[in-house]
Structure 1
Amino acid sequence: MRIVCAIHSLDGGGAERVMARLASMLAGRGHDVALLTLDNACKDRHEVATAVRRIPLDVIGNPQRGIAKLSSIKTRLLAIRSTLLRENPDVVLSFCDRNNIDVLLATTRLSIPVVISERSDPSAQKLSKNWVLGRFWECVRRRVYRRARRIIALTPEIAAALQPLSKRPIAVIPSAVDPVSNLRPLEERDRVILGVGRLESEKGFGRLVDAFAAVANDVPGWNLRILGDGSQRNVLQNKIDRLGLANRVELPGWIRPIAPEYGRASLFVLPSYYEGFPSALLEAMASGIPAIAMDCQSGSCQIIDHEVNGLLISGSSNEIAQAIRRLILDACLRERLAKEAIHVSELYSWERMTDAYESVMSL
């Protein structure tokens, strides 16, 4: 197949990592693959195989209102449309809600099939005070998603929420993770609590910092390290400074490669208000880190079996603090959860995920 993969950028988070790897896997199977991004590729953090043709459109702009905003949207849609007309793919595979909307609008009245993958939980997004998409674009999504050849969701719960937007059954394809060899024993790791993700409100790192502040005096020698970047960096840093934690909480940005960071950490916390199927959680568990995650209605609860391979909690900073304290003070529990956590790589393999995407795109 001739495939164009489309995403906003390869800068940062889990969806970007999955797209880069999936495009490379598809190219490795003999497909003609191009990877289109809306940015200029200067901040790419995820590499793709040399067989993947990289198409950076450099059309990301964020004017707030009026004619400038409309002009930015028009420029973006025309760039996507002209590129797809030139590439003439058998199918377009698009990731992430706003990007999916752009691709579907840009292909209006074209005969190019578009398969879209929703990387979060729309029903949870709308209930959150940190709803990024907003009412206008949610209305547009409900209209244009009906044009997609197929819609892919990460979990059955997300599929059920999206089903009214499609006449065909929503495909369910979770994310994937590599097995990790030569895992360091927990007792040889640094006393580091690790968080990974975009520094945005919906990721909940503010409450993770609050939770660490509540236990910091009880767990001397333990530090918090949050990998990622985003619009909330200064807000988080100010909170860290205000709480007197500058020597114990780090915000080093995105680190590449990230695998050594997982290999050194002794505890992982995913404090998100909502998630799709969090790649960072999969990667941490596959790396043998005992994990704490919020009991979202999808995503984390699909991956973690509470008290078996991790801990699920309801999400207040107080409960996060209690879970952190419990795991730090109970080395046997950490060891037991970590031993079970590594099996996620058997359930969510890249080969299985790529097979599923190939199947959906070929229909």
Structure 2
Amino acid sequence: MKVGRNICFLTGTLNAMAGAERMTATVANALAELGHTVTILSLFDAGSCFALHPSIHHEALFAQRPSFKRAYLATVAGIRRHCLVRNIDVLVQVDTMLALFVLPATIGLGMQHIAWEHCHFDQDLGKAARRGARRLAARWCDQVVVLTERDRQRWIEALRPRSEVVCIPNPLPFPMPAIPAPRLGKQVLAMGRLVAAKGFDVLLRAWQRVSTQVPEWELVIHGEGEERDALTALVDQLGLGGRVRLPGIAHDATLAYAQASAFCLSSRYEGFGLVLIEAMAFGLPIVSTDCETGPRELLTPGQDALVVPTDDADALANALLRVIRQPEEASRLGAEARQKAKAFALDQVGRRWDALVSAPSEAPGTRGTPPSRPAT
């Protein structure tokens, strides 16, 4: 009989509607369902935007986000205390940046240490320390989990890691829909944080051209973020009032997908592109930019999606008009995409995480010691 392990997911916060936080809750729930004892330790804010399995214990080191420079030692001590009190066997840091806290916090504790990378390797999100943290993770963690095979290769080529670099994609965070979206309306859906990386400004410029040719169609962009005011101003500037809506975060994303007739991802870069898998599960025809590590690996151009260059509003408009005006092709793309999405079902991805955290322990005394570099 399999014995579950004591697993801690360490994250910044769960009280934010963002991809890494959503995946933390999703994978933690899956492992709890499989019989592991799971805790989630947030650095700040004990609230959660996401439902957690009843057996999961969630706590936070600080009620509000502190200055981590001033609270560095307290943070390290808090992580170590949690690991000791909860007798943690496996610690999963949900951002490679957390290695700066975790490595000193877990010295000598003999646990399996996994770093989970949600960005792609060539993006540091404006934090130069992220590159140094990745080097630490590649040298001292037992495993580094990345989301795409392309990113796994980048880690290996750039860092020659001592750690094992494992590709486990993000899972579909809800059950595979029993039926595809009916696609009876005239709505193109986009979804994501309202930040420059998502390219919604490019999408709006593309939609200006689309809406002049199919004015009965509507663009709906779900999400919140720092670019809301700029995007709202751009809608007015382009004369798109009444043809574009920005209704905020979709608290029931499945309803948003079920009401759409097509999906567009306009990002300049992606770590993975979870919204693509979600839209594919609903059988929506997809128009996407050709981002290096997410869409380029998830999509097959012309087979299950139409793919265009990044930052090209004209190409985006042409592809959107194609799925709108050619319903038979749109249906074919959506059906192929739905078939592919089945490989990302939570039970399948959950089993891969289960295998990773259930790996046989190493010989006594070897945990916490950097593994030797493989012979070349």
TM beyond 0.5: yes
Instruction: Using the TM superposition, give the Cα deviation of residue 307 of structure 1 relative to its aligned residue in structure 2, in angstroms.
Output: 0.8
Is 1:258 the counterpart of 2:250? The answer is no
Mapped to 1, the partners of 2:83 and 2:162 lie a distance apart of: 25
Which SS does the other structure have where 1:229 is aligned? coil
Q: Measure the CA separation in 1 of the matches of 2:114 and 2:53.
A: 22
Amino acid at match of 1:17: R
1:283 corresponds to: 278
2:26: which partner in 1? 21
Judged with a 3 Å threshold, the aligned counterparts in structure 2 of structure 1 residues 167 and 134 are, in CA distance, closer, same or farther, namely same
For 1:242-264, what per-residue CA distance to the aligned partner results, in whole angstroms no more than 9, with x for missing partners? 22223222222212221010001
Corresponding residue SS for 1:289: coil
Corresponding residue number in structure 1 for 2:349: 353
- Tell me the TM-score normalized by structure 2: 0.86
The DSSP-based 3-state class of the residue aligned with 2:236 is helix
Q: 1:196 aligns with which of 191, 194, 197?
A: 191
The verdict on how the C-alpha distance between 1:245 and 1:96 changes in structure 2, with shifts beyond 3 A counting, is farther
Question: How large is the Cα RMSD of the aligned pairs?
Answer: 2.2
- Which structure dedicates a bigger proportion of its chain to helix? 1
Instruction: Check if 1:56 corresponds to 2:55.
Output: no
Alpha-carbon distance between aligned partners in 1 of 2:191 and 2:97, rounded to the nearest angstrom: 22
Matched, 1:244 2:214: no
- Judged with a 3 Å threshold, the aligned counterparts in structure 2 of structure 1 residues 96 and 311 are, in CA distance, closer, same or farther, namely farther
1:133 CA drift (Å):
4.0
Identity %: 28
Q: What amino acid does structure 2 have at the position aligned with 1:98? A: M
| Residues 59, 79 of structure 1: 8 Å contact kept | no
Distance 2:138 2:248 in 1: 34
Distance 1:247 1:109, change over 3 A: farther
Deviation at 1:283, TM superposition (A): 0.4
**Relative to structure 1, is the Cα distance of residues 2 and 342 closer, same or farther in structure 2, using a 3 angstrom cutoff?**
same
* TM-score, normalising length: structure 1: 0.88
For the pair shown, which has the larger CA radius of gyration, 1 or 2? 2
- How far did residue 72 of structure 1 move? 4.7
SS in 1 for 2:176: coil
Q: CA deviation at 1:296?
A: 1.8
* Cα distance in 1 for residues equivalent to 2:83 and 2:195: 31
The residue correspondences of 1:1-363 to structure 2 (distance < 5 A) are 1-10=5-14, 11-42=16-47, 44-58=48-62, 61=65, 70-104=69-103, 106-108=105-107, 110-123=109-122, 125=123, 131-163=124-156, 164=159, 166-177=161-172, 178-186=175-183, 188=184, 190-315=185-310, 316-363=312-359
- Return the alpha-carbon distance in structure 2 between the equivalents of residues 257 and 289 of structure 1: 17
Query: CA 1:337–1:85 in structure 2 vs 1: closer, same or farther (change >3 Å)?
Result: same
Larger displacement relative to structure 2 (70-79 or 237-246): 70-79
Query: For residues 113 and 209 of structure 1, what CA distance do their matches in structure 2 show?
Result: 46
- Pairs aligned (count): 349
Contact 2:68 2:75 survives alignment (8 Å): no
- Conserved in 1, the CA contact under 8 Å of 2:285 and 2:305? yes
Offset at 1:302? 1.9
Deviations 1:284-318 (A, max 9, x none): 01011101112122221222111111111111222
Aligned amino acid, residue 7 of structure 1: T
Contact between 2:285 and 2:333, CA under 8 Å: does it hold in 1?
Answer: yes
| Aligned residues of 1:142 and 1:165 also touching (Cα < 8 A) | no
